[in-house]
Amino acid sequence: MKATHPVFCTIVPPHVLDKLAQADDPVLAGPARRTLEADAAQRTHRRLTTVLGARPAASATADGKPHRTVHDAQHRQVLPGVKVRGEGEEPGQDATVNRAYAGLGATFELLLKGFARDSVDGNGLPLVASVHYGENYGNAFWDGEQMVFGDGDEIFRDFTLPVDVIAHELAHGLTQYTANLTYFGQPGALNESVSDVFGSLVKQYVNDQTADRADWLIGAGLLTDRVTGVALRSMKAPGTAYDDDVLGKDPQPAKMEDYVRTGRDNGGVHINSGIPNHAFYLLATDLGGKAWERAGRIWYDTLTGGSLEVDASFADFARATVAAARARFGDGEEHEALLKAWSLVGVPTG
C-alpha cells in the first residue's frame, strides 16, 4: 500500500460556494461565506497535520464488523465533538445521528460483501463521523481521519439525507488507503470521480437497484426548493444537475473535448470528474445488472491493484481499468463495453 497523504475533500465544490457568497441576498451569501471560511481553516489544519503528523488513528480490528462512532459537534467547529452513538447502540431521537450511523454501515457493508474489504483501509478501520458541524454549514467533508456533516442552510438540506453523500466522503478514505491519488488536476478529478462512483454504488446497493433503474445523481434531495436543480452532479448526463440563477449552470463536461482547464478547485477536480463519471455510467448501464458486481469490481480492482501512480491521468486510469477487466473477466463483454465507454468520452486506452 502506498504511503497515505490525507487531504481535505468536500462534497460541495468551491465554485458553487463562491457563487453563493457573491449573491445579493445576505441570507444566501452569509452562510456560504462562513462555509468557505470553515473549509479554508480545515485545509490549513490538514496541511499542518500532514507536516507535523496527524493524531493517532483509533485502533483497527479486522473482524469483518463495522466499528462506528458518531459525535455531535454542537454547531461548533471543534472535532470530533461529543460522542452520541457508538457501535451497536440503539438509535436515539436525533435523526441526523441515526442517518450518519446507517450511512457508515451501508458503506462498510458494500465494501465487505461486494469487494471483500474490511472497512476503507482493508483492516477494520473504525468509522468516525461528526454531525451538526458549525452554524449553517453548507458542506460535508472527509478530513483524512473522519467524516463531518453540516446541517445545511437556505440552499442545502442536511448533508446526511443522501446516503451517497455519506458514501462519497467515506470513499475518499478508500482512495487515501489505496491509490492515494493526488488531489489536483486529472488525478484529483479521478479522486473525486471514484468517490462519486462508490457513492452511487452504495445508494444503488441500499435501494437494491439495477444499473438501468438508478438515477445516477449525486446528492439528489440535497438542494432546497430555492434551487432550480435536482442534485450536485449527474453521472448519466454531466452538466445537467442544476441550472440556477444563483448557483449558475452545472459546469461538468462529459467528454474530453470539453475538458475545463482552470487553476480553481484544485485544477477543476469537481468539474472534470464528470468525464470518468460518465465513462463508468456508460459501462455499468451497458453491462446491466447490479453495477457493483462487474463495473464496480473493475473500478475497485483498478484502485487497489497497485499499478496506478499517485499522479495518474485519465488515460493512465483508463488503461489500468482495461488491464483489471481483462484480469478478472477475460476478453469478454466486460472488456468490450469498457473500451466502448472510454472511447465515447474521448479517453484513449491504447
- Dist. CA 188–CA 195, nearest whole Å: 11
Contacts of 72 (CB under 8 A, 6+ apart): 81, 82, 84, 94, 97, 130, 131, 132
Give the pLDDT confidence score for residue 285 in this predicted structure. 98
How many Cβ atoms sit within 10 Å of the Cβ of residue 65? 14
Rounded CA gap, 297 and 247, in Å?
35
Amino acid at residue number 308: L
Give the pLDDT of the chain (350 residues) as one tens digit per residue: 455 555 778 899 888 998 899 988 888 889 889 998 888 877 655 444 433 334 445 566 779 999 999 999 999 999 999 999 999 999 999 999 999 999 999 999 999 999 999 999 999 999 999 999 999 999 999 998 999 999 999 999 999 999 999 999 999 999 999 999 999 999 999 999 999 999 999 999 999 999 999 999 999 999 999 999 999 999 999 999 999 998 999 999 999 999 999 999 999 999 999 999 999 999 999 999 999 999 999 999 999 999 999 999 999 999 999 999 999 999 999 999 999 999 999 999 98
* CA count, 13 A, side-chain hemisphere, 189: 28
- Is the Cβ–Cβ distance between 9 and 172 less than 8 Å? yes
pLDDT in tens, 95-111: 999 999 999 999 999 99
**What's the pLDDT at 60?**
64
Can you tell me the distance from the alpha carbon of 238 to that of 187, in angstroms, rounded to the nearest whole number?
18
Q: How far apart are CA 112 and CA 330, in angstroms?
A: 24
Q: What is the pLDDT of residues 40-54, one digit of tens each?
A: 877 655 444 433 334
Q: Dig out the grid coordinates for 242 from the structure.
A: 442544476
Three-state SS across 73-95? Answer: CCCCCCCCCEEEEECCCCCCCCH
- Contact criterion met (CB below 8 Å) for 79 and 126: no
CB within 8 A of 301, min separation 6: which ones?
324, 327, 328
- Which residues are catalytic, by number? 169, 270
Q: How far is CA 138 from CA 31, 46, 187, 201, in A?
A: 7, 19, 26, 24
Q: Which domains does the chain have, with CATH numbers?
A: 9-176 (3.10.170.10), 185-344 (1.10.390.10)
Q: Distance of CA 340 to CAs 66, 167, 286, Å? A: 38, 28, 9
Average pLDDT score, the chain: 92
- In this prediction, residue 174 carries a pLDDT of 96
- pTM (predicted TM-score): 0.94
246 pairs with which residues across the strands?
none
45, 37 Cβ separation under 8 angstroms: no
Instruction: Tell me if residue 185 falls in helix, strand or coil.
Output: helix
Helices of type H across 151-294: 163-176, 185-206, 265-268, 274-287
